[in-house]
Amino acid sequence: MPSQSVWSKYTKLFRGNGEGAVGVYGPPETWALVIEVTDLTLPTMTNELIDVSNFDSVGPFRERLATFLDAGDSRATVNYIAGDPTQLLLINDQVSQTLRKFKTEFRNAAGVLGATMFWSAYVSFAITASIRAQRQATLTMNVTGQVIIS
């Protein structure tokens, strides 16, 4: 059977403009495209576990209970474009410590195949320059709350 995989080329990252209430995923919300994304890591969700092993545990294995889910971090690398309005908004959001809604759309040439949406506070916006490469910026976002995947 041929692979069902899709090339990532048409993937898009959007920054919410803040019309929706914090923690609410429905409308209203308008979106600004984050331009020139070259690499994207979506939130890595993990379970926090507590050890509930005790003298009465069966066998030599530990017992654990899942407690909180941690949505983790998301990271985007972009070609840094000095003066780009959306990239400036990302920097301003970090300085003002603003929670922001993000949306990622997985696309092909025909349209949207799926999406994720999450609320995030910025951890860093790091600009790098190298003589051997284009200027880039890495945006690290700490996700707060649930990640919606469709």
> 44 pLDDT band (50/70/90 cuts)?
confident
pLDDT for the residue numbered 21: 63
pLDDT in tens, 5-27: 777 888 999 998 877 666 566 66
pLDDT in tens, 114-138: 888 888 887 888 999 999 889 999 9
pTM over 0.85: no
C-alpha distances in Å from residue 83, one per residue of 6, 36, 65, 90, 103: 32, 14, 49, 12, 22
pLDDT for the residue numbered 26: 63
The third-level CATH classification (topology) of the domain covering 8-53+62-149 is Pnp Oxidase; Chain A (2.30.110)
